[in-house]
Every structure is written in structure tokens, then in C-alpha cells.
Structure 1
Amino acid sequence: MVEKITPAEAIRLLDAGKAQAVDVREPDEFAVGHIPGAKLLPLGDVLTRAEEVMPDKNAQWLIYCRTGRRSADAAQKLEAQGYTGLRDLGGILSWPYEIEGDFEGHF
């Protein structure tokens, strides 16, 4: 079971360089807005590209999507692949901090 993490806990880890955010939405959603520095790994690519995008299976990875449904699914799949430092951040809709992107579309 992958542990949930609050945005407040996540921003502390990200700011300290102790974790990496991973966005499991689609590329067009990522382009609209994402957590600064986040890596993109669409849910449909988790089984085939995880090791490419997330090479260290023991690092702290903060998985998020739009509302939390895809992040929970992705976290389960990643855990099954041997990732140990996973935290489910849930959805970017509840992220109160800085977001980078083109903001032309909507979340």
C-alpha cells in the first residue's frame, strides 16, 4: 500500500531536493500546468517506461495526476515493479503552490 502525502509535506521534500514529482497525466494536461520540475510518465506508459523516467527504484517519488485516481493506479503498478519510495500526492487540483505551464487550457 502506497502512503499518501499532503501538499505541505510534499513541498518540503521537493524544496529540500529529497523527492521528485512524477505526473501521470497525458502530455497535453502536463503542458497546461504541472508541479515545477515534475517528470512526465503518462499512466499508459507506466509499465513500459517507468525505469527510463524513474531509474532509481529506492528514491522518493511523489506521484500525482489531476484528481488522484490515476496517481493511485500508477502507484500500485510502480510498487509492483519494485519501487519502494513511492508517495501518492493525489491530484494537482489540490496543489496550492506554484505551477508551471502554458495555462491556455484547463485542468
Structure 2
Amino acid sequence: MIQKIEPAAAIRLLDAKKAQAVDVREPDEYAVGHIPGAKLLPLGEVMSRAAEVLPDKDAPWLVYCRTGRRSADAVQKLDALGYTNIYDLGGILSWPYEIEGDFEGHF
């Protein structure tokens, strides 16, 4: 099931270790800055690598990208692959909490 989730609800799940963030941007974008602990699964690799990167199809996954377009596409693909607990977090540009990486003014 796909659900939208707001950053405030997402951070509560992440802090409680009840969900895992998934970044569907490209590796260079991830390196610039990402939600701490997020798994990297570029959109173009979702269909081929989801089982490897996200092995538990019933775990809560919080999917995000830069602005929300790629995350919306990714959650549809994950749903088609049988993932049952997917949240579309949207874009990291609207994430008001900690970001780790080497962002040097890239955002």
C-alpha cells in the first residue's frame, strides 16, 4: 500500500527505528546530502535491484528524491513489485531535519 507521509511523521518513525528511508536519486545527488541512514536505490535501478537493497517487502520504507517526482514513480514501481508498506516522503528539499553529506551549498 502506498501512502503519503509528512516529514514530521517520518522523523518520528525514523527516530523510533520503525522505518527506513530510501533515496531514489542518483549516487552523486546522494553524496551531496541525504537523510541520515538512508539506503540508496536510484530510480533507474528500482525494478532490477529492489530485492537486493530492500529485502523485506513488508517493512516500512520511506521513499524520497529531490522534489517528489521520482519518489512518486518509485513507490508505484515498488508497489508493483509487491512491497506492502511504502510511504512517499516526497522531496528532500522540503525535509526540515538533519541531512548528512558534503552539500557545500548545493541545495
Q: Structure 2: which 5+ runs fail to align?
A: none
Q: Which runs of 4+ in 1 moved over 3 A?
A: none
Q: What is the rounded CA distance, in whole Å, between the counterparts of 1:73 and 1:28 in structure 2? A: 20
Q: Are 1:49 and 2:49 counterparts?
A: yes
Q: Are 1:18 and 2:18 counterparts?
A: yes
Identical-pair percentage: 81
Equivalent pairs, count: 107
Q: 2:104: which partner in 1?
A: 104
SS in 2 for 1:22: strand
What is the root-mean-square deviation in Å for CA atoms of aligned residues?
A: 1.0
TM-aligned CA deviation for residue 106 of structure 1 = 1.5
TM-aligned CA deviation for residue 2 of structure 1 = 1.6
Q: Are 1:78 and 2:78 counterparts?
A: yes
TM-aligned CA deviation for residue 105 of structure 1 = 5.8
Q: Structure 1: which 5+ runs fail to align?
A: none
Q: 1:63: which partner in 2?
A: 63
CA contact (8 A) 1:33 1:103 kept: yes
Q: What is the rounded CA distance, in whole Å, between the counterparts of 1:105 and 1:64 in structure 2? A: 20
Q: What is the rounded CA distance, in whole Å, between the counterparts of 1:48 and 1:23 in structure 2? A: 16
Mean Cα displacement is larger for which, 91-100 or 1-10?
1-10
SS in 1 for 2:76: helix
CA shift in 2, pair 1:16/1:105, >3 Å: same
**AA aligned opposite 1:80:** A
**AA aligned opposite 2:77:** K
Q: What is the rounded CA distance, in whole Å, between the counterparts of 2:77 and 2:31 in structure 1? A: 24
TM-score where L is the length of structure 1? 0.97
